[in-house]
Structure 1
Amino acid sequence: MKPTLLNLIQNNQFAGLDYEDPYLHLHTFIELCGTVKIHQVPEEVIRMKLFPFSLLGKAKLWLNALPHQSLTRWSDIEIKLLARFFLLAKINQAKSEIVTFSQKQDELLSEAWERYKSLLRRCPSHGFDDLTQVNIFLGG
């Protein structure tokens, strides 16, 4: 593994603090891992091997406390990390921000749309279908 990649990953570590966004961490981590291609090694294996280096503090303690062999696929890591660090209060807050979205005064429609899409990306588990998302945006 290239030391440069390991440095990039360690410069973007997730500690599990309240203000940190685990979705953003996963997105950044996947992006960084995507820069590495090893002949006949699946991307999932690369992610699984590098993921522990992307954590510190209570997030690292959480990972180390999981039962051995409880994370056998990349999706296991994603599901368990989000279940632990993207709490119900954060989900409810994010959903509230989506539902109460409104275009700001002097904000271009394209800027409002990008800001709205950003809210949706911050909470992939919002549960709003495409039609509802469009209706919320148009109502705001």
Structure 2
Amino acid sequence: MADQPMGYYNRLDPNRACSAINYGALAPNTFELQHHVINYMQQDVYHGMKSEDAHQHLTTFKEKASPIKHNGVTEEQMLLMLFPITLKDNTKKWLNSHEPGTFTTWEALSKAFINKFYPPSKTARIHHDIQTSNKDPWKL
């Protein structure tokens, strides 16, 4: 988004998604995230720090979000709506750096998240460290 010419944002179609996530149409005035749901989901936020585990964040997120149901809202839509509120700092900047409507499925969003915050190079480095270590890999 930062590479857009000046005036680009003034020409945005007001009917396009306002964020990188497009979760599809909802019936007007039928759904609103309640404060207690937002507070519950924000108990486990991801900042994108090296000490954090992106896979664990997704696992915890899905465990917490999957039981949240609302008539007229699919599980996919719920995941797409709730995920941004669990992101802070670098991860929020990353999500907001995408074009409006980039992510339309949970699969696409979660894959992009993992590729950014737990890239294959990190897995390879950890695997290499375990293989070359004299320590018991179960005690690392």
| Pairwise TM-score range, normalised by the shorter structure | 0.5 to 0.7
**Pairwise CA distance, 1:40:** 3.2
Residues 97 and 6 from structure 1, CA distance in 2 versus in 1: closer, same or farther, beyond 3 angstroms? farther
Question: Are the equivalent residues in 2 in contact too, given 1:10–1:54 (CA < 8 A)?
Answer: yes
Question: Are the equivalent residues in 2 in contact too, given 1:14–1:56 (CA < 8 A)?
Answer: yes
Aligned partner of 2:73 in structure 1 is: 41
TM-score normalised by the chain length of structure 2:
0.65
The RMSD of aligned alpha carbons is 2.7
TM-score normalised by the chain length of structure 1:
0.65
Aligned partner of 2:112 in structure 1 is: 80
Aligned partner of 2:52 in structure 1 is: 20
4+ residue runs over 6 A deviation: none
**Pairwise CA distance, 1:2:** 3.3
**Pairwise CA distance, 1:7:** 1.1
Question: Which of 1 and 2 has higher RCO (CA within 8 Å, sep 6+)?
Answer: 2
- Number of residue pairs matched by the alignment: 108
Aligned partner of 1:61 in structure 2 is: 93
Cα distance in 1 for residues equivalent to 2:107 and 2:131: 28
Structure 1: gaps (5+ residues): 105-114, 120-140
1:32 aligned onto 2:64: yes
Structure 2: gaps (5+ residues): 1-32
* Identity among equivalent pairs (%): 28
**Pairwise CA distance, 1:46:** 0.3
Question: Are the equivalent residues in 2 in contact too, given 1:9–1:54 (CA < 8 A)?
Answer: yes
